Amino acid sequence: MSSASSFACVLDAKANLGECPVWSITEQVLYWVDINAPALHRFDPATSTDHTLAMPESIGSFALRAQGGFIVALRSGIWVASSDGKLERKIAAAPYDRVRFRFNDGRCDPQGRFFVGSMNERRDGSTAALYRVDRDGTLMQVIGGIMISNGLAWSPDGKTMYHADTPTHMIQAYDYDTATGTPSNPKTFVRWEGDTDRPDGGAVDSAGNYWSAFYRGGKVVQLSPHGTLTAEYPIPAMCPTMCAFGGPGLRTLYVTTARQMREPDELMRLPQSGGVFAMRVDVPGLPEPSCAI
């Protein structure tokens, strides 16, 4: 395991586009996806073993279900899958042109509703959106005008929702109605100017700090609940994609990374790109909510 201030590769997966790490407290394992492979993975840090559950098409994100198994966001729509990765039923069809869009970052709110954003793969307009899947399976758009939906997370009290549109270099904070699952009153939480300051997936710890993986930035940053940069942690991969707290006491920060479209010399210099990295942290994370669907 890495020291208190540095990341170490715990799974040299060589993933094309590793994403969406989710820690199962019950199983004490880390689930994650390779969007383009496409597959859902089950990594057991105690044995360093990684089991692959193949998917039939791009899998943007998923959540653990309270009843067991998963809810998965595939290119064609939202599905329920068994614990061995078998697709059991389709909840909702994808609300976009599958040639130009796919689902991307997603997770459950504290009430067990599944939120998932789409992305415009051609990056030729802000025509993607963030959606909510209610407990009855209804899919509803909650935010529009997005190019690449990312950074979804909630504050410890559940009353603030965070969301990033990666190409804007900005994370927004929304007032969140826990009764209806409705975000409102967006405010700029933090905005960056650098070309490589591209907030991808995020996570919130038990003190309310927001952690963001900088795709193409080679680092993970920690922000206070007020949006102040409090720490930066380099990672030996240029494209970290998302953070998740796990391990005993939720004091390990796991980060997935990508190696898609990277230059050969970069991969020679950073050969563990596409791996899963981990770092011990002082402040524990929050348990990942299970999906109530």
Assess contact for 131 and 98: CB atoms under 8 A.
no
The tokens describing 101, both together, are 């869009």
CA-based radius of gyration for the chain:
17
Assess contact for 4 and 36: CB atoms under 8 A.
no
Instruction: Compute CA distances 78 → 195, 199, 219, whole Å.
Output: 33, 25, 31
Cβ-proximal residues to 25 (8 Å cutoff; 6+ apart), any chain: 250, 287, 288
Cβ-proximal residues to 83 (8 Å cutoff; 6+ apart), any chain: 68, 69, 70
Assess contact for 41 and 276: CB atoms under 8 A.
no
Residue 84 is a catalytic residue: no
Assess contact for 220 and 212: CB atoms under 8 A.
yes
At 168, is the secondary structure helix, strand, or coil? helix
Helix ranges, 17-69 (H): none
Element (H, E) at 213: strand 210-214
Per annotation, catalytic residue among 200, 205, 265, 282: 200
Looking at the annotation, which residues are catalytic? 200
